[in-house]
A and B are shown apart, each in its own frame.
Chain A
Amino acid sequence: MEGDGSDPEPPDAGEDSKSENGENAPIYCICRKPDINCFMIGCDNCNEWFHGDCIRITEKMAKAIREWYCRECREKDPKLEIRYRHKKSRERDSNERDGSEPRDEGGGRKRPAPDPDLQRRAGSGTGVGAMLARGSASPHKSSPQPLVATPSQHHQQQQQIKRSARMCGECEACRRTEDCGHCDFCRDMKKFGGPNKIRQKCRLRQCQLRARESYKYFPSSLSPVTPSESLPRPRRPLPTQQQPQPSQKLGRIREDEGAVASSAVKEPPEAMATPEPLSDEDLPLDPDLYQDFCAGAFDDHGLPWMSDTEESPFLDPALRKRAVKVKHVKRREKKSEKKKEERYKRHRQKQKHKDKWKHPERADSKDPASLPQCLGPGCVRPAQPGSKYCSDDCGMKLAANRIYEILPQRIQQWQQSPCIAEEHGKKLLERIRREQQSARTRLQEMERRFHELEAIILRAKQQAVREDEESNEGDSDDTDLQIFCVSCGHPINPRVALRHMERCYAKYESQTSFGSMYPTRIEGATRLFCDVYNPQSKTYCKRLQVLCPEHSRDPKVPADEVCGCPLVRDVFELTGDFCRLPKRQCNRHYCWEKLRRAEVDLERVRVWYKLDELFEQERNVRTAMTNRAGLLALMLHQTIQHDPLTTDLRSSADR
C-alpha cells in the first residue's frame, strides 16, 4: 500500500454505481448501501469499501491493520493475508480479526498510527478537507517504531517496516529504531528535554529516499547513538480528532460594552504543525551538516526552527490556529504566509543579532586604565564599564543629591504662577462630583422602585383566582390571522403568540453565552447580573439574573396561582385591580413579573454604568493633576519666567 499523500482517492464504486435512489450515489459494502457516514474500511485488492459495522471491524481494530483484504478476496486468493502494524509485543499477532487493540506505544498516543491509506479509506464523514489534511500531513507523522526484522515465533508474518509517503521502509534510516538523541530534531523532542516545537523525526531516521532534503543529513561520521528512552514522542492530535469545540453552548460569544467579553472559546488544542517547514528553500547539503546540527551551530542564525522559544512564528498560537484552517485551503497560501513570517522573523533575528554584538564591542573597547571616574559625590573610584558609577550606591547618592538641590527651586518656580490647567482640572472635578451626586440619587430612586415592585408582586400573589370571560374578548377576531414567530419563523396563533415567542427566544438564547471574565462586585447591589461561572470559557454570565434563559429556568406554575398583573386603563392609568385569571391560562400577561423586574434592573444597571464612567473621568483628571507637577515632571522640565509681572499670557483677565 503506497500512499502518495496528496489527493484523496475517491472510493471506487466499481460496478456498483447502480443508483437506487436515482441520485447516482455509489453503493458499497456487502449491504449495498450508499451510506458513507460511518467508519469504513477498504479492501486492498478489489478496492471495495465496507462498513465497519457490517463486517464487524471496529475503527480501533482497523488502526492496527496495515493491509486488509475482504473475505471474498481472501477466499479467492489464499495468498492475501491481513497484515497488521508491528509492535513490540507479539501476543496480538496471533489474533487476526478480533479485538486487536491498537497498541498503546507508551502513553500519550492520541491518535492512530499514521497509515495514510487506511486513514483515507476510513472515511468517517470528516469530509474531503480532512482527508486532504491527513493525506498531506502524513509524511512526517512519525511512524511506529519499526521492529528489527526478526521472524516471529508465533506465526509466519514477515516483519515489514511500514512504508509511507516519507518512508521507503528499506533504507538504513528507515530501519533504525532508536533516536540518536544528539541531532537538532532529537534535542527538540520532549523525551530529550526539548520544547517540542520542530517535531521532526531524528535526523538519522529521516528516510534517505523519501524524506525532505533539508531534514536529511549526510553523515561524515556518525555520532554515538544513545539508547532512546521508553517515553515516546507525544503526537499531535489530528484536526479531526481534536476534542470537540467546547460545547455548542459557546457557539457565539458576544461582547458587552461594559463587561469585557471573553475572547475565549478555548483555542483549539495544538493544531498540527503543517507538514511543510517554514522555508521551502532547501538548505545546502553539507557533509558536516549533521555535526553542526548536533553542535547547535545554527542556533542563532536564520534557520527558522532554531529560534528562541519566543520567536517561532509558525508555532505561535495565532498561526497555529490559522494552520488548522489553512490546511484545508491551498498550499500556496500557506507557503507565502510562511515565507513572509519567516522573512519577518529573520529580520527580527538579525536585529537581535546586531544588538547582541553592539554591547560586547563597547565593553571590550574600554580597558581599566581609561575608565572615567565614578560620578558619585566624593567618590574617587573608577566607574564600571558601561556605566557612570562605580556602584549602585554612588548612583543613588548622586540622584538623591540632585533631588535635594534642584527640587525645591523647581517647586518654587512652579508655584510662582498659578497653573491654568490645574484650575481647569479643579472645575472639571467639581462638575464630575456633581454628576456623581445626581447619579447616586437616581440609584436610590431605582432601589426604591425595586422594592415597590416587589411589594406589588407580593400583593398580587395574594389575590384569589377568578375565572373570567374577559380573557376571551378581543382574541376571537384574531384567530384567522397568523403571526410568524421572530425566532423560529413558524406560524403561530396570535393568542398564544406571546407565550410561544418568549419560550422560543429563551430556547435560542440559552445556546449562546454572554459573559465577562470578572464576577460582579458591587457593594449594596442586590440581584443584578446572573454571574454564573462557566468553567469552560472561564467567564461569568453577564445577563440580567431575572432574564437569563441559560441559567435560570422558569419555575413551574402551580395550577392555582393567580396571574396578578396590575391592570391598567389606557396604558398608564393603574386601575388598582389585578388580573384574576390563573397564571397558566392568562395569555395577555405572560411573565409580567419577570419583565417588570428586568425593567427595573436594567435601569439600575444603567445608573451603575454611568457612575462607573464618571469615576473613570475623575480618575483621569486626578492623574493628570498629579503628573503635571509630580517629581518626575518637575525634575525633567522647567518653565523660566522672564517677566515677573506676567504670569498669564491671556490678554483678558482670568476667565
Chain B
Amino acid sequence: MSEKPNYALKFTLVGHTDAVSSVKFSPNGEWLASSSADKVIIIWGAYDGKYEKTLYGHNLEISDVAWSSDSSRLVSASDDKTLKIWDVRSGKCLKTLKGHSNYVFCCNFNPPSNLIISGSFDESVKIWEVKTGKCLKTLSAHSDPVSAVHFNCSGSLIVSGSYDGVCRIWDAASGQCLKTLVDDDNLPISFVKFSPNGRYLLIATLDNTLKLWDYSRGRCLKTYTGHKNEKYCIFANFSVTGGKWIVSGSEDNLVYIWNLQTKEIVQKLQGHTDVVISAACHPTENIIASAALGNDKTIKLWKSNY
C-alpha cells in the first residue's frame, strides 16, 4: 500500500453557466450529479465524463444535491425554499417539498431512502417523507443557518452542523437531540458528516480546520490543516477505495488530500481557477470529482492508481 496517491486530471466537464455548488457520485458508481447556481442539475457519466442529461425545474440557485441509495432518485435543495425529488431515468421532478421559510442549504437521503433530511437558513432541520412529500418533523436545531445534515450508515442518527458553532446529533426516529458538540471557540461549522462506519464525525470549521471527532466520547481525535477555508461551506469526504484519505476542497483553488491517520497532506490537486467548493469520492474506484465556483464553472475528474 503506497503512502501517497497519484491522482491525475483525466477529464474536465464543461457545461454549467454559473458556479457549481455540489457534485456527488451515485451509489452505483455510474453517474455524477452536479448542481449549480444556474438552477439546473446536470448528470454526467462517472467513468467517461460524458454529458447525460439536465434536470430543469428550480427557480433559483441550487445549493446541494444528493442521491438515493438505489441511484434512481435525486433530491436537490434550492434557494427558492423548496427541495425537489427527481427521477433520474425520466428526468422529471417527482415531488416538490415546500415548507422551509428560507434558503434550503443542504439535503440528504437516509440509507433506506424513504426519508429526506434538509437544513436551511431558517435555522431548522426538516425530515420529509419521500413517498408523500410531506414534512414529518421539524427540528428547531440551531440559532443560525444550518450548513450540513447527514444520516449515519444505519439511518438511526442525524448530525447537523450550523454557523452557530454547535454540532448536534439527533435520534432519527424521535427527533430528540442526543448530543451537542461545541468546541471552545464557537467557530461556524461549515460542513459535518459521519464516517462510513458511523463512529466518527468529520467537522469542518471556518478557521481552515478539519477535525475528526469521536462523538460518543466527545473528543477530537485528529485535526487536518493546511488548506484555506474561511468563507465557504466546502464539502469534505472520506476516501476509502484505495488508501484511507480525507479529501477536501479549498479556497486557494486546490483539492487537498490528507492521510487519515498521519494527518499530513499527501497530495494537492491543481487545475481549478476558482474556489473548489465540492470534492466527491467514487464509491468503488479511485476517482475524485471536484467542482469550482463562478470563475471556473467546471468539474474535474481525477483518477489515481491507489
Does any Cβ of B come within 8 Å of A479's Cβ?
Answer: no
* Other-chain contact of B9, A421, A637, A642 (Cβ < 8 Å): A642
Bound-complex Cα distance A620 to B8 (A): 36
* Other-chain contact of B11, A421, A624, A627, A641 (Cβ < 8 Å): A641
Q: Which residue of B lies closest to A617 (CB)?
A: B89
1/0 contact trace for B68-88 toward A, CB 8 Å?
Answer: 000000000000000000000
- The stretch that binds A, out of B45-53, B120-128, B136-144, B189-197, is B45-53
Does any Cβ of B come within 8 Å of A522's Cβ?
Answer: no
1/0 contact trace for A619-630 toward B, CB 8 Å?
Answer: 010001001100
1/0 contact trace for B28-65 toward A, CB 8 Å?
Answer: 00100000000000101111111111000000000000
1/0 contact trace for B235-270 toward A, CB 8 Å?
Answer: 000000000000000000000000000000000000
Give every chain A residue within 8 A of B303 (Cβ-Cβ): 646, 649
1/0 contact trace for A643-655 toward B, CB 8 Å?
Answer: 1001111110000
Q: Are B14 and A649 in contact (CB under 8 A)?
A: no
Q: Are B50 and A639 in contact (CB under 8 A)?
A: yes
Bound-complex Cα distance A624 to B43 (A): 12
Give every chain A residue within 8 A of B287 (Cβ-Cβ): 649
Q: How many chain B residues have a CB neighbour from A under 8 Å?
A: 27
Does any Cβ of B come within 8 Å of A148's Cβ?
Answer: no
Give every chain A residue within 8 A of B52 (Cβ-Cβ): 421, 624, 628
* Other-chain contact of A639, B30, B49, B53 (Cβ < 8 Å): B49
Does any Cβ of A come within 8 Å of B301's Cβ?
Answer: yes
Q: Are A639 and B47 in contact (CB under 8 A)?
A: no
Interface residues of B in 74-122 (CB under 8 A from A): 89-90
Bound-complex Cα distance A628 to B52 (A): 5
Does any Cβ of A come within 8 Å of B15's Cβ?
Answer: yes
Does any Cβ of B come within 8 Å of A640's Cβ?
Answer: yes
Taking the nearest CB of chain B, how far is it from the CB of A620, in angstroms? 7
Q: Are A414 and B50 in contact (CB under 8 A)?
A: yes
Query: What class of interface size applies to chain A in its complex with B?
Result: 20 to 34
Does any Cβ of B come within 8 Å of A419's Cβ?
Answer: yes
Q: Are B15 and A637 in contact (CB under 8 A)?
A: yes
Give every chain B residue within 8 A of A643 (Cβ-Cβ): 8-10
Q: Are A651 and B49 in contact (CB under 8 A)?
A: no
Q: Are A418 and B48 in contact (CB under 8 A)?
A: yes
Bound-complex Cα distance A620 to B49 (A): 22
Q: Which residue of A lies closest to B31 (CB)?
A: A421
Bound-complex Cα distance A419 to B11 (A): 14
* Other-chain contact of B51, A639, A647, A648 (Cβ < 8 Å): A639
Give every chain A residue within 8 A of B10 (Cβ-Cβ): 641-643, 646, 649
Bound-complex Cα distance A610 to B285 (A): 38
Does any Cβ of B come within 8 Å of A396's Cβ?
Answer: no
Given contacts A637-B42, A642-B9, A642-B12, contact A628 B51 (CB under 8 A): yes
Please give the residue numbers on chain B whose beta carbons come within 8 Å of chain A beta carbons, in ascending order: 8-15, 30, 42, 44-53, 89-90, 285-287, 301, 303
Q: What are 20 pairs between A and B in contact, CB < 8 Å?
A: A418-B48, A419-B45, A419-B48, A420-B50, A421-B50, A627-B53, A628-B52, A637-B14, A638-B13, A639-B14, A639-B48, A639-B50, A640-B13, A640-B14, A643-B9, A646-B10, A648-B48, A649-B287, A649-B303, A650-B285
